Amino acid sequence: MTNQITLHKEDSMIIELRECASLLLEKLQGDDYQEASKMIVNLNVTRDRSIFQSVGELTRALHESIKNFNIPGGEQAFSQQGSNVDKCSELHEASSGLEYVLTLTKNAADKTMDMVEDCAPICNELGQEANSLKLEWTRLRNREMSPDEFRALYTRLDNYFETLDAGTNKLNENMQNIILEQGFQDLTGQVLKKVINLVTEVEGNLVSLMRIAGQVEAVVGIDVTKYDNKGCDGANPDADIVGEGPQYNAEKRADVVGSQDDVDDLLSSLGF
Amino acid sequence: MKILIVDDFSTMRRIIKNLLRDLGFTNTQEADDGLTALPMLKNGDFDFLVTDWNMPGMTGIDLLKHVRADENLCSMPVLMVTAEAKRDQIVEAAQAGVNGYVIKPFTAAALKEKIEKIFERV
């Protein structure tokens, strides 16, 4: 649609230029140099007007694109003080959201590990006592136990049932809490989805900006070929290897290992 | 056996610490990056270093290079436990003198196997 309008404007400019040119020719052939120089001025005015119009349109489009980023950089940023303005920014909100995800996941992991660590000694204690009682029980069944030993076993069993009851209650409670703690996934998922949407939107706006920048280059006559093309990633092969973090699309990349087995194979090929 | 665990995430430090404890290694200390870890290694009598790669301050690979360059620490076994999975990185770690490389997420069995292998060789 925008392209059609631009073409239409270019057409009308060319028609106007042609009319001026034929009038200029006519005046020159008629030796009317005064009128001819007026025509030359008209030609320049028509050309300049077209450039000014295009630049004006591009400036407006740029303005709209920046506004779409939801960064108050357009009208408000210059009229308000920075701190208040930043708070309104959706990008700022997105990074706060990611901080929230970090905090929530950390808290959930910590609480889960606290509860597991809380459970471990209970399991150990119950297991050890069960083993010991089993041995005593076998002795009882084999009639190898004295009446005194039996009385002691009787009390131990009584205590064990109480410990078992309290222990399993605690284990159940902790397991329930561990399940509840997984609720972070819902909350962080919602925030992450919002951030993904924002990133997609920003990406779309950046593409628009690139398009506008291309048009500006065409109108102003900037030679883009003189700028070095460093490629998409701008990677410098001599640069130090930097950490990339988890590879979430390892299967699509040949330069990345997919499993611990691949690591082991690679290391053994290096003589490890 | 005194072990230093270096990772910028406290959750991961805790996971490794718990796994090491299950393997019978109870004397562990923690640091959150290479810059904190290096003076601890120089001043303490650590026997083994478990480090992440990607950390602020000083990365794990730089920490490994510093350890190998230090005459008192150069023979210390180093296990890298990291999410970094590029072949180039694994090769770089091997060339820098790492003794084992475990990629995250890992299992208790994988960590155990690598640690046992390291001590078999030492």
What does the pLDDT read at residue A232?
46
CB B50 within 8 A of CB B27: no
What does the pLDDT read at residue A231?
47
What does the pLDDT read at residue A243?
79
pLDDT in tens, A183-209: 888 888 888 998 898 888 888 888 877
What does the pLDDT read at residue A219?
67
SS3 letters across chain B: CCEEEECCCHHHHHHHHHHHHHCCCCCEEEECCHHHHHHHHHHCCCCEEEECCCCCCCCHHHHHHHHHHCCCCCCCCEEEEECCCEHHHHHHHHHHCCCEEEECCCCHHHHHHHHHHHHHHC
Please check whether residue B84 touches A, CB under 8 A.
yes
| Residue A136 pLDDT exceeds 70 | yes
Neighbours of A59 (CB within 10 A): 12
| Residue A154 pLDDT exceeds 70 | yes
Q: How far is B55 from chain A (nearest CA, A)?
A: 8
| Residue A11, CB-side half-sphere exposure with 13 Å CA sphere | 6
| Residue B99 pLDDT exceeds 90 | yes
Please check whether residue B58 touches A, CB under 8 A.
no
Tokens of A213: 């920048």
Side chain identity at residue A18, one-letter code:
R
What does the pLDDT read at residue B74?
94
ipTM of the complex: 0.82
Q: How far is B117 from chain A (nearest CA, A)?
A: 11
Q: What angle do CA A133, A137, A141 make, to 5 degrees?
A: 175
Please check whether residue B86 touches A, CB under 8 A.
yes
Mean pLDDT of chain B: 92
What does the pLDDT read at residue B101?
95
Q: Which residue has the higher pLDDT, A257 or A243?
A: A257
Tokens of A165: 């009851």
What does the pLDDT read at residue A110?
92
What does the pLDDT read at residue B39?
96
Interval A80-87 mean pLDDT: 47
| Residue B120 pLDDT exceeds 60 | yes
Q: What angle do CA A64, A65, A71 make, to 5 degrees?
A: 95
Query: B50 forms bridges with which residues in the sheet?
Result: B5, B79
- For β-strands B48-51 and B3-6, DSSP reports them as parallel
Query: B28 forms bridges with which residues in the sheet?
Result: B3
pLDDT in tens, B39-58: 999 998 999 999 999 998 99
Interval A47-60 mean pLDDT: 78
B103/A106 CB distance under 8 A: no
- Closest of B118, B113, B60 to residue B90, by C-alpha: B60
User: For B86, which of A113, A256, A260 is closest by C-beta distance?
Assistant: A256
Grouping H, G, I as helix, E, B as strand and the rest as coil, residue A269 is: helix
Q: Chain B residue with minimal CA distance to A258?
A: B85
pLDDT in tens, A199-248: 888 888 888 778 877 777 776 667 777 665 554 444 454 456 677 778 77
**pLDDT confidence band for A157 (50 / 70 / 90):** very high
| Residue A169 pLDDT exceeds 90 | yes
User: Which range is least confidently modeled, A130-134, A215-219, A226-230, B76-80?
Assistant: A226-230
Please check whether residue B90 touches A, CB under 8 A.
yes
CB pairs under 8 A between A and B: 68
| Residue A121 pLDDT exceeds 50 | yes
Neighbours of B49 (CB within 10 A): 25
What does the pLDDT read at residue A21?
86
Percent of chain B with pLDDT over 70: 99
pLDDT in tens, A2-14: 555 555 666 777 7
| Residue B108 pLDDT exceeds 80 | yes
Q: What is the rounded distance in angstroms from the CA atom of residue A145 to the CA atom of residue A244?
A: 66
| Residue B102 pLDDT exceeds 90 | yes
Interval A177-181 mean pLDDT: 87
